[in-house]
A and B are shown apart, each in its own frame.
Chain A
Amino acid sequence: DGGITQSPKYLFRKEGQNVTLSCEQNLNHDAMYWYRQDPGQGLRLIYYSQIVNDFQKGDIAEGYSVSREKKESFPLTVTSAQKNPTAFYLCASSVTGVAKNIQYFGAGTRLSVL
């Protein structure tokens, strides 16, 4: 089945700890995205990547880091510098070009602080 897989579904972070959220896609999409969603709110863009080995900051990149070493993978690290990490994290992918705004989303990772 083609799609986007996010893991884990639930994640708990201790004070001062870095945690990494996984996002893998087998849709052969060039572009990948990370969003954060707080309760009752819309999605906010954290980072995006349009091609391997290249990525750009979105609206709320502070306290987060990403890498794009493979086309299929776009892991997000929530660092200890992110003081309010509790949220629902969503990964998406799309083609580039004309259809780039049709994004396919994973099922999300819910991150909580212990």
Chain B
Amino acid sequence: DAKTTQPTSMDCAEGRAANLPCNHSTISGNEYVYWYRQIHSQGPQYIIHGLKNNETNEMASLIITEDRKSSTLILPHATLRDTAVYYCIVRVAMGGGSEKLVFGKGTKLTVNP
């Protein structure tokens, strides 16, 4: 029941910007987009989230299109330690007012020296 589509894998050169796309064409007006990443054999790590405005924090920037049907996570200066699986997530209602995050297969980003 994943509501997002991401490329399976991407490569990026160390020091360059990594731009990770995500399609979420069925997103509702009040649903946020969340990004997490998972370094091999570790727990996922929250990166950033947004509703409609572009967001930036110390880890990344999130650009959301005006129609909110897609977004791009930008790592401005990728390092080898950014090699990970990146998950783009929209919450899913579970009934009874509860919601869950659906972690699909994500995008495997490899940063090359």
A residues lining the B interface (CB < 8 Å): 4, 35, 40-45, 48, 50, 56, 58, 88, 90, 92, 100-108, 110
Q: Does B45 contact A (CB under 8 A)?
A: yes
Partner of B101, one of A40, A56, A103, A106: A103
Q: Does B68 contact A (CB under 8 A)?
A: no
Q: Please give me the residue from chain A that is nearest to B42 by CB atom.
A: A107
Partner of B43, one of A42, A50, A58, A105: A105
* Chain B residues numbered 65-113 whose CB sits less than 8 Å from any CB in chain A: 87, 89, 91, 94, 96, 98-106
Q: Please list 23 pairs of residues, one from A and one from B, whose beta carbons are closer than 8 Å in the complex, sorted by A's number.
A: A4-B43, A35-B103, A40-B105, A41-B105, A42-B105, A42-B106, A44-B103, A45-B100, A50-B98, A56-B96, A90-B43, A92-B43, A92-B44, A100-B99, A102-B34, A102-B46, A103-B46, A103-B101, A105-B45, A106-B43, A107-B42, A107-B43, A108-B42
A102 touches B49 (CB 8 A): yes
Q: Please give me the residue from chain B that is nearest to A57 by CB atom.
A: B94
B100 touches A48 (CB 8 A): yes
Chain B residues whose C-beta falls within 8 Å of the C-beta of A101 in the assembled complex: 32, 34, 49, 89, 91, 99, 101
Number of interface residues of B (CB under 8 A): 24
Chain A residues whose C-beta falls within 8 Å of the C-beta of B41 in the assembled complex: 88, 108, 110
Whole-angstrom CA separation of A56 from B100 in the bound complex: 12
Whole-angstrom CA separation of A37 from B80 in the bound complex: 24
Whole-angstrom CA separation of A35 from B94 in the bound complex: 15
Q: A42-B106, A101-B34 are in contact. Are A108 and B43 (CB under 8 A)?
A: yes
Whole-angstrom CA separation of A40 from B104 in the bound complex: 10
Partner of A105, one of B44, B104, B106: B44
Chain B residues whose C-beta falls within 8 Å of the C-beta of A43 in the assembled complex: 44, 103
